[in-house]
Amino acid sequence: MNYIFFILITLSIIIGVFNNTLSDVVNSMLQACDTAVKISFSLIGIMAFWLGIMRIAEKSGLVQIISKLLNPIAKILFKDVKKDSPAVGDIAMSVTANALGLTNAATPIGLKVIKELQGDNPKKDTATDSMCMFLGMNTAGFQIIPATVIAVLVGVGASNPTEIILPTLIVTTLSFFVAIISAMLLKKIWHKKEEA
């Protein structure tokens, strides 16, 4: 990726020199840097806010309540996970963190889930059905409140940054269910190939 950006910047400068628009190129770069800093600060603020809310929810027991509500669904989707495995609760916490738009908070929880699932995996060089299901769900990224996107929109000065909530909810809900259905279908296809 660094090479691509280096090539793009170099080409922009060379083309700016030949077209006698180098000052426009430099001004655009400086303006982009200014915008990047503003977006970064808005992200810091909104991430600090939502991580604080998540910490309060965790300390008050709200996250555990949500996890318990999601546990029956998790047990249906992750049938090959042991009943006493802490992975089931962590899967529910990861989905909850993603739903609140806290993808940065969901990442360490997701890594913990995969580590726990790998501990119970009889074939260490092959992902289990539960691992594939979890990765599909996590990648789909179901979100009720897209906190990071809202922060970026605030950073670029959008007039109504919260208008992204409904479209995001619709799209992430669809992608979430498509990921679950795809994982179930591919699991059946894969197991049929193994049996043949």
What is the SS3 assignment for 188? helix
Per-residue pLDDT of 22-53, as tens digits, reads: 888 888 888 888 888 877 777 777 777 767 77
pLDDT band of 196, cuts 50, 70, 90: low
Per-residue pLDDT of 73-95, as tens digits, reads: 877 888 887 777 778 778 887 88
What's the number of domains the chain is made of?
Answer: 1
Which residue in the block uniquely carries the two structure tokens 């669904």? 73
Q: How far apart are CA 174 and CA 7, in angstroms?
A: 37
Domain containing residue 143: 42-195
Report yes or no on 110 lying in a domain. Answer: yes
Q: How far is CA 121 from CA 47, 108, 114, 134, 167, in A?
A: 34, 20, 10, 14, 38
C-alpha closest to that of 122 among 133, 110, 135, 131: 131
Q: pTM of the entire structure?
A: 0.68
Name the DSSP class of 161.
Answer: G
Percentage of the chain lying above the pLDDT 70 cut: 96
Report yes or no on 31 lying in a domain. Answer: no
